[in-house]
Amino acid sequence: MSKSLEEVNSSVNTNTGGTVKRLLAFIGPAYMISVGYMDPGNWATDIAGGSKFGYNLLWVLVMSNIIALLLQSHCVRLGIVSGKDLAQASRETYPRFINLFLYGLAEIAIAACDLAEVIGMAIGIHLLFPNISILTGVCITVLDSFILLFLLNRGIRKLEAFIICLVLLIGVSFFIQLFIAKPVLSEIAGGLVPFIQNDEALYIAIGIIGATVMPHNLYLHSSLVQTRKFNRTPTDIKKAIRFNTIDSAIALNLALFVNAAILILAATTFFKQGRHDVAEIQDAHQLLAPMLGSTLAPILFAVALIAAGQSSTITGTLAGQVVMEGYLNLRLQPWIRRLLTRLIAIVPAFLTIYFMGDGATGKLLIFSQVVLSLQLGFAVIPLIHFVSDKKKMGEFTIPKWQKILSWVSALVIIGLNVKLVFNEITDLLFTSEHAVLISFTIVPVCIFSFLMLIYITVVPFITKEKINKRKGFHDELQPLELDFKTNVRRIAVTVDFSPSDNKAINKALQIGDKDSTLILIHILESTNAMVYGEESFDFEREEDYQKLKKYQTELQGKNITTEIQLGFGIPKLSIPKIIQEKNCDILIMGTHGHRTIKDILLGSTIESVRHEIKIPLMLV
């Protein structure tokens, strides 16, 4: 099984420096997770909750944050100890059919989350630039896909720094808005007492839970903690768990501050002044200035909204990659994955706004968060099973008190969801004109999903002894198969007429002997080559061929048998084909000439080639 987010796995060294420096090296993953806890979907549920019920649902936010801290600490433990993310652990444990079902639910959750981010960013753009409609803003959000790709090519720490800056921007914006609103602290304290006023309050409360404890964040966090490189000793594993848990506590409490600030701002500004009908983000923005008497508040509100949408969309893409690779062992180029996820979210957003108008965005946002909450049990229950399993976790299983709290949290989430689904279906059956159709479509789907939930809950208890019989962190040790051949005969070397060619060719000479043959390969990537392949004849082809001939002449002058081969089109497709045709024994590649933009469009050549060839690959 490949490593989770392989391109950045163990890419941040945490083994140098003192305690403070090592702690700082671990800081980052939780902030990328925290943005999912303050995305535009949270804004919609918090605004609706604050304007309709005042401070009464504040306790739901606090409870959700406590549950989130507990569950994210489990993700930290799973990723660090087992070296697998939640999706990979599920694939190892459950049958294929169950994994496909869980994968489908995870993708629905990511699409629902991205739907909220698309709408949120579109609204933010519209609020700052009123001439740009929300519908146009939805289309513009496609372009943000390339920000993620650019940053990820620069390394995980650059991406984390960008996210942290956006989080700080959101936090500062709401701190200033709260200062302007001047809420009464004693009234805020009253909202910490658990109380659900009616079914509408329950619907919004479940939306708040779904917006706070997001399923895809559980998958992503268990992967991101693996970007840190540390010694695999019990002491260092404990330190890694502790440092990442501290990181999670700081980041998620900052997210709680932002969510609480939105709800308190809505309660202070709208509920107390009798405006209980403010459910749309754009309505909240328009009313801030006249009700607070400040023109700064709505500007900060819009800027923070765009920052929240942009930061959340980045983590949603990474979560999609983790889920697809973990459950299906399928890798797509990040830009393809990003565009697919974004298009899936844009279609319902575009159609809803086009046919129902801008006024439907608030309801769509809250619905997306309820969908997230309904998926939550299917991610939480496997997670609790895994971190409680001694065969997976060894001495690092969670203590008994955490097991109890975890199962209580899971029961609370599932219980609220079951009540919501039961209420909604009952209402539909008694009020809808299509009660029979609902009985034979929606009802069976709900029953099937509930049975699947019972399955993933109960089966690990029954089959615990059968699952994952091997001990330790690695597969069972196999005997070595030794090969005493002293030299390779046919050595392929990719060249791009850059200084790296010298290193690659010299490495080939060190590996081979007088009977070895060098095969110099260059891939022509011009437009003609992409379209016409070997039939392309232009100046660039002739120039590159002459350069290859020059290399060949120089090497043959030193009695080194040399063949040359010109390929056409995309290197990652052409190179494996040539390797097979030329019957090569080893491939040597220097650092290629692509940087950032070409890698975004074509993908990493080396990464793709190594998966396609069946001979050793050496990089110089």
**Cβ–Cβ under 8 Å, residues 246 and 44:** no
Q: Same structural domain for residues 380 and 236? A: yes
497 and 387 within one domain: no
What is the secondary structure of 211-253 as a DSSP string?
HHS-HHHHHHHHHHGGGEE---SHHHHHHHHHHHHHHHHHHHH
Going by pLDDT thresholds of 50, 70 and 90, the confidence category of residue 331 is low
Give kind and range of the element (H or E) at residue 40.
Answer: helix 40-53
pLDDT at 148: 61
What is the structure's pLDDT at 203? 78
> Last residue of a domain, which of 380, 398, 416?
398
Long-range own/partner contacts, residues 508-516 (CB < 8 A, 24 or more apart): 508/588, 509/560, 511/487, 511/586, 511/588, 511/618, 512/487, 512/488, 513/486, 513/487, 514/559, 515/487, 515/489, 516/487, 516/488, 516/489, 516/490, 516/491, 516/561
**pLDDT tens digits for range 76-87:** 999 999 888 999
Integer CA distances (angstroms), 135 to 26, 124, 284, 462, 541, in order: 40, 12, 19, 51, 46
Collapsed DSSP state (helix, strand, coil) of residue 107: helix
617: three-class secondary structure by DSSP: strand
Of the candidates 352, 377, 398, which is a domain's last residue?
A: 398
480 occurs within a structural domain: no
Question: Is residue 46 within 8 Å of 267, Cβ to Cβ?
Answer: no
Q: Is the pLDDT of residue 58 over 70?
A: yes
**What's the rounded Cα separation, in Å, for the pair 162 and 168?**
10
- Statement to judge: residues 367 and 262 lie in one domain: yes
pLDDT (tens digit per residue) in 16-54: 777 777 778 888 888 888 877 777 767 777 888 888 888
Sign for the pseudo-dihedral over CA of 427, 433, 435, 441: negative
For residue 280, give both structure tokens: 């749309």
Looking at the predicted structure, is the pLDDT value of residue 408 above 60?
A: yes
Q: Is 7 part of any domain? A: no
The larger pLDDT score, comparing residue 527 to residue 376, is at 376
Coil, strand or helix at 497: coil
Helix axes 234-269 and 58-82, enclosed angle (nearest 10): 160
Parent domain of 599: 490-619
Looking at the domain assignment, is residue 343 inside a domain?
A: yes
Per the listing, tokens 């990511």 go with: 110
Report yes or no on 374 lying in a domain: yes
How far does the chain reach from its first CA to its final CA, in angstroms? 26
Q: Are 47 and 261 in contact (CB under 8 A)?
A: no
Q: Kindly indicate the confidence band of residue 75, based on its pLDDT and cuts at 50, 70 and 90.
A: very high
Q: d(Cα 105, Cα 134) in Å, to the nearest integer?
A: 28
In the numeric block, which tokens belong to residue 63? Answer: 């409870």
Determine what percent of the chain falls in helix, strand and coil, rounding each to the nearest 5.
Answer: 70, 5, 25
Give whichever of 70-74, 153-157, 192-196, 514-518 has the largest mean pLDDT.
70-74
The pLDDT of residue 160 is above 70: yes
Note whether 102 and 232 are same-domain residues: yes
Q: How many domains does the chain fold into?
A: 2
Residue type present at position 123: I
The residue ranking higher by pLDDT, 548 or 477, is 548
Q: What is the pLDDT of residue 491?
A: 92
Residue 170 reports pLDDT greater than 90 = no
Tokens of 542: 């002739």
| Mean pLDDT, residues 242-269 | 88
Do 58 and 199 belong to one domain?
Answer: yes
E strand or H helix at 589: strand 586-589
Residues near 139 by beta carbon (within 8 Å), at least 6 away in sequence: 346, 350
- Distance separating alpha carbons of residues 581 and 583, to the nearest angstrom: 6
Phi, psi of 12 (to 5 degrees): -115, 115
**Which contacts of 240-243 are long-range, i.e. CB under 8 A and separated by 24 or more positions?**
240/14, 240/26, 240/80, 241/76, 241/77, 241/80, 241/81, 241/396, 243/14, 243/22, 243/23, 243/26
DSSP 535: G
- Lowest mean pLDDT of 145-154, 369-378, 427-436, name the range: 145-154
- Single-letter residue type at 214: M
Dist CA 470 CA 536 (whole Å)? 55
pTM of the model: 0.69
What pLDDT is stored for residue 514 in this prediction? 80
Which residues have CB under 8 Å from 605's CB, separation 6+? 571, 572, 575, 589, 592, 594
- Report yes or no on 257 lying in a domain: yes
pLDDT, position 602? 40
Q: 294 and 189, same structural domain?
A: yes
Say if residue 390 is in the same domain as residue 494. no
What does residue 583 show for φ and ψ, rounded to 5 degrees? 55, 50
Relative to beta strand 490-494, strand 517-524 is parallel
520 dihedral zone (left: phi>0; alpha: psi -120 to 50; beta): beta
- Cβ-proximal residues to 431 (8 Å cutoff; 6+ apart), any chain: none
Q: Per-residue confidence at 211, pLDDT binned at 50, 70, 90?
A: low
pLDDT at 494: 92
Instruction: Label residue 605 by pLDDT band (50, 70, 90).
Output: confident
At residue 39, the 3 state secondary structure works out as: coil
**Res. 601 pLDDT band, cuts 50 70 90:** very low
Looking at every residue in the chain, the average pLDDT score rounds to 80
- Tell me how far apart the alpha carbons of residues 283 and 130 are, in angstroms, rounded to a whole number: 13
How large is the C-alpha radius of gyration of the chain?
Answer: 28
Higher pLDDT, 183 or 152: 183
Q: Which of 145-154, 467-476, 593-602 has the highest mean pLDDT?
A: 145-154
How many angstroms from the chain centroid is the CA of residue 375?
Answer: 16
333: amino acid identity, one letter: Q
* Residue 359's pLDDT band (cuts 50, 70, 90): low
**CB-side neighbour CA atoms (13 Å) of 504:** 27
Q: Report the C-alpha gap between 459 and 372 in whole angstroms.
A: 24
In a domain, 143, yes or no: yes
Tokens of 243: 């440092």
Same domain, 498 and 372: no
Give pLDDT, residue 13: 76
State the Cα–Cα distance between residues 252 and 28, nearest whole angstrom. Answer: 12
pLDDT at 562: 93
The whole-angstrom separation of Cα 183 and Cα 58 is: 14
Confidence of residue 400 (pLDDT cuts 50, 70, 90): very high
User: Could you give the 3-state DSSP secondary structure of residue 492?
Assistant: strand
Report the CATH number that the domain containing residue 214 is assigned in CATH: 1.20.1740.10
- Would 270 be classed as within a structural domain? yes
- Does the pLDDT at position 504 exceed 60? yes
Distance CA 217, CA 33 (A): 6
What is residue 12's DSSP assignment? Answer: E
Q: Is residue 137 part of a domain?
A: yes
State the CATH number of the domain containing residue 520. 3.40.50.620
Name the DSSP class of 478.
Answer: P
What share of the chain has pLDDT > 90, as a percent? 15
| Bigger pLDDT: 245 vs 530 | 245
Give pLDDT, residue 518: 93
Confidence at residue 471, expressed as pLDDT on a 0 to 100 scale: 44
Tokens (6 digits) for 162: 């960008």
What are 245's two structure tokens?
């848990």
Cβ atoms of 320 and 36 within 8 Å: the answer is: no
Nearest to 81 by CA among 232, 243, 220: 232
Last residue of a domain, one of 361, 376, 398: 398
Q: What pLDDT band is residue 579 in, cutting at 50, 70 and 90?
A: very high
Cβ neighbours of residue 620 closer than 8 Å, sequence gap 6 or more: 500, 503, 504, 507, 588, 589, 590, 591
* Least confident residue range of 271-275, 430-434, 481-485: 481-485
Residues 125 and 240 in one domain: yes
